[in-house]
């Protein structure tokens, strides 16, 4: 065995050969390499007067520290990536909707008495409605229509993702749904541009009133999820019925009077060239 008294053996070279095992003198703590251990001798077989066999744990601590740091870096990276993905997904689907108050002007031609020879009289009117438009992500339009003429107050919801229109009657705790007619309803982005263009009151055009007769399909729907989460949320606590036009063969054959007969709702006049009124005439 070779002994180096008074000097510490090169740690890197030494630790590679002897797996961090050292002999330390009891007098001056000089370190010596155990070259014999490379040939299989055990610690117990080395009985040297004035020396003791010890384990150098300094390199082991460094190695453990590096492993712990590496694990922490990997975990932190994964957590950061997950958080970033969550907030990016949330941000892409949480655009603030466009909200505005719209002045709607309308006119309707009616006959004061029966007979084709009776001249029509024009009635003009107007009201203010609240509009909420989401043009990115969940594309929808919500139009708060007030009372006017013989029309009940309601909130109209156009869902452009699931292609449904809902009339939400909060006063009577009921909803009516019909398929969204995209040919006569402005898409959210075009609707918003239209509102911005006609924001000044003197630029608002007058809409012609159109009345359509619909009938209520009973019983109420059981699964509102097929209507999409926007309408399902607004109609969650209400009985929700489908509507069909009265001139459809199915609606003409089974009609009977019900409590909805005579009710009239509007789909709002700011997303459609005319002010569309839905008159309910019995149930199916």
The radius of gyration of the chain's CA atoms, rounded to the nearest angstrom, is 41
Q: Taking the mean position of all CA atoms in its chain, how far away is CA 26?
A: 72
pLDDT at residue number 116: 60
Rounded Cα distance between 47 and 137, Å, is 79
Sheet holding 21-25, edge to edge: 31-32, 21-25, 51-55
**pLDDT for the residue 85:** 64
- Here the tokens at position 115 are 């007979």
Q: Render each residue's pLDDT in the chain as its tens digit; 284 residues.
A: 444 444 444 444 433 344 444 444 444 444 444 444 443 444 444 444 544 455 555 566 777 777 888 878 887 887 777 767 655 555 545 578 888 888 888 888 887 666 566 677 888 888 899 999 998 877 899 999 999 888 999 999 999 999 999 999 999 999 999 999 888 888 888 888 888 877 766 567 788 888 999 999 999 999 988 899 999 999 999 999 999 998 887 766 777 888 888 999 998 876 667 888 999 988 88
What pLDDT was estimated at residue 57? 55
Provide the pLDDT for residue 63: 74
> Residue 242: what pLDDT?
94
Q: Collapse the DSSP code of 127 into the 3-class scheme (helix H, G, I; strand E, B; otherwise coil) and give the result.
A: strand
Instruction: Indicate yes or no: pTM above 0.75.
Output: no
Three-class DSSP category at 204: coil
Pair 72, 116: CB distance under 8 Å:
no
């Amino acid at each position: 065995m070779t002994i180096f008294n008074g000097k510490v053996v090169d740690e890197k070279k030494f630790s590679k050969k002897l797996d961090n095992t050292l002999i330390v003198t009891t007098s001056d703590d000089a370190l010596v390499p155990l070259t014999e251990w490379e040939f299989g001798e055990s610690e117990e077989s080395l009985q040297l007067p004035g020396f003791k066999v010890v384990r150098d744990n300094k390199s082991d601590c460094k190695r453990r520290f590096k492993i712990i740091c590496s694990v922490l870096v990997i975990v932190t990276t994964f957590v950061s990536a997950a958080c970033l993905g969550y907030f990016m997904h949330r941000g892409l689907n949480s655009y603030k909707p466009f909200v505005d108050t719209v002045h709607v002007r309308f006119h309707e031609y009616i006959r004061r008495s029966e007979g084709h020879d009776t001249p029509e009289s024009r009635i003009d009117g107007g009201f203010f409605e609240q509009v909420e438009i989401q043009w990115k992500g969940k594309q929808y339009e919500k139009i708060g229509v007030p009372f006017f003429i013989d029309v009940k107050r309601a909130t109209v919801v156009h869902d452009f993702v699931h292609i449904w229109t809902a009339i939400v009657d909060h006063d009577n705790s009921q909803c009516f749904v019909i398929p969204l007619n995209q040919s006569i309803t402005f898409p959210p982005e075009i609707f918003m541009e239209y509102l911005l263009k006609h924001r000044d009151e003197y630029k608002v055009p007058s809409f012609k009133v159109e009345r359509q007769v619909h009938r209520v399909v009973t019983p109420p729907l059981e699964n509102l999820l097929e209507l999409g989460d926007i309408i399902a949320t607004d109609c969650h606590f209400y009985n929700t019925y489908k509507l069909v036009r009265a001139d459809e063969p199915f609606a003409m054959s089974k009609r009977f009077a019900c409590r909805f007969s005579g009710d009239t709702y509007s789909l709002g006049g700011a997303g459609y060239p005319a002010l569309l009124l839905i008159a309910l005439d019995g149930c199916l």
